[in-house]
Structure 1
Amino acid sequence: MKKIICSILVASMFLTNTVSHANSFLMHTAKAGDSYFYISEKYNVTINELKALNEDSDDIIYEGSLVKVKPISKNITIKIDNITLQPDQSPYIENNRTFVPIRFIAEALNIDKILWDDSSKTATLMNNEKTIKLTLGSHIANVNGKDIKLDAPISIYKGRTYIPIRFISEIFDCIVSWDNSSSTVLIDTKSTYNEDLYWLSRIIEAEAQGEPFEGKLAVGNVVVNRKNSPNFPNTIKKVIFDTNYGYQYTPVLNGTIYNSPSWESIKAAKMVLAGNNNISNCLYFLNPRKSTNTWIIKNRTFYKSIGLHDFYR
């Protein structure tokens, strides 16, 4: 398996595309010890169905190989800013994530550079201040030096390198949703409101996961209060990534800012953006059980506690 990856990947990255109208499939990346019996039990399909679908006459499954599990009832559609795009190869789904060819999504999102390091089998996408490194077979993506876990690995399929479309699109500041009725991935690249919602919901999730809803709302309002203050940057994204006095938010430093938010965090972010303020003009918060920052305690006025966080003006 490893011997053929290099030549396949080089071809997949740089050869001219050909259009394919093959169906989309639910896929499974084989792990050490996987068998057709295990996969058939996991996905409730028969061994014979699996073998027929994968055109396989023996019982050997190689670690890292993609196994077709079942066809998806509808081919997956990709829409960017309401324009329907046709990938040159059909997407597939693994662990509820839609995977598409790397060059297709990079070009669709106008990524500046796509590089390939043959020695490490790593693709690098570069756009503005973002650099993403994606290594073949890995569950880890590296974003500006921070490792982010993926739900399924980067893989070769039909001679092309496939990556998760939601992850890549969101890293490059797009809003992604899924229309189950039409099996359509919807990507919005333009809306300022969507960019604010994207980053605000993620900082709320990263800072207030496990906190009561009022605590999530309060964390979001601190960020917006900073955006509206002349002493801080004037956009939500810039507030979150502000490093004028060191990293303002730990999730930016440890990479959890890129984790997907819960529905509660999204709801809290929407309420904050709609003007629901439960924290007055507070500009700071901390968890006194974990924080080593004594400057806030010594120099700012305590307002109140919500959950594990103390809020200061």
Structure 2
Amino acid sequence: TQAKLKSFGKVRVTALDQLARIIYSEARGESFEGQVAVGAVVLNRVQSGEFPSSIPDVILQPGQFTAVQDGQYRLKPNKTAYRAARQALNGADPTNGSLFYYNPAIATAKWSKSRPAVISLGRHTFTN
């Protein structure tokens, strides 16, 4: 999967495009604030020192985002996802610095549910 995603190389894919793709694929059914929050988590990871130091490396890090694993990341983002990505890139962070999120209705990983919640937005709980 990672090799296929990196094959975007022939077409210039910007950080904005990648952030919009992960927002759209992970949170397209969420409110605008919830979409910005998903983008903010990616950027918080880039800045944290605990994760890779670039947007594509954070997004493509194995096992981190279900939408990358199941192929939804290849979907074309809509205008709202791009707007949310721009907001996140401009510093908006409704998660207060969160590094993780999960959907409590479908999450199966006990480690994610054991982390203290920072905020819940829509169907996602954001944690550190």
Normalising by the residue count of structure 2, what TM-score does the alignment of the two structures yield? 0.91
Q: What's the offset of the Cα at 1:130?
A: 4.0
Q: Which secondary structure does the structure 2 equivalent of 1:260 belong to? A: coil
**Larger strand percent:** 1
Is the 2:104–2:113 contact (alpha carbons within 8 Å) kept by the matching residues of 1? no
* Counterparts of 1:276 and 1:173, CA distance in 2: 31
Q: What's the offset of the Cα at 1:173?
A: 6.6
> Which segments of structure 1 move beyond 2 Å, counting only runs of 4 or more?
171-174
Which amino acid in structure 1 is aligned with residue 126 of structure 2?
A: F
Which residue matches 2:9? Answer: 172
Q: Which secondary structure does the structure 2 equivalent of 1:228 belong to? A: helix
Is the 1:223–1:239 contact (alpha carbons within 8 Å) kept by the matching residues of 2? yes
Which residue matches 1:148? Answer: none
Aligned runs of 1:164-243 on 2, under 5 Å?
A: 171-172=8-9, 174=11, 189=12, 195-243=14-62
5+ long unaligned stretches in structure 1: 1-128, 132-142, 145-167, 175-188
Aligned runs of 1:90-109 on 2, under 5 Å?
A: none
Aligned runs of 1:1-313 on 2, under 5 Å?
A: 130-131=3-4, 171-172=8-9, 174=11, 189=12, 195-243=14-62, 247-298=63-114, 300-313=115-128
* Counterparts of 1:307 and 1:297, CA distance in 2: 16
Is the 1:221–1:272 contact (alpha carbons within 8 Å) kept by the matching residues of 2? yes
Q: What's the offset of the Cα at 1:172?
A: 2.5
Asked which structure has the greater CA Rg, the reply is 1
Per-residue CA deviations over 1:249-281 (Å, capped at 9, x if unaligned) read 011111111110011000000111111121111
Matched residue count: 127
Q: CA RMSD in A?
A: 1.9
Q: Work out the percentage of aligned pairs sharing the same amino acid.
A: 35
5+ long unaligned stretches in structure 2: none
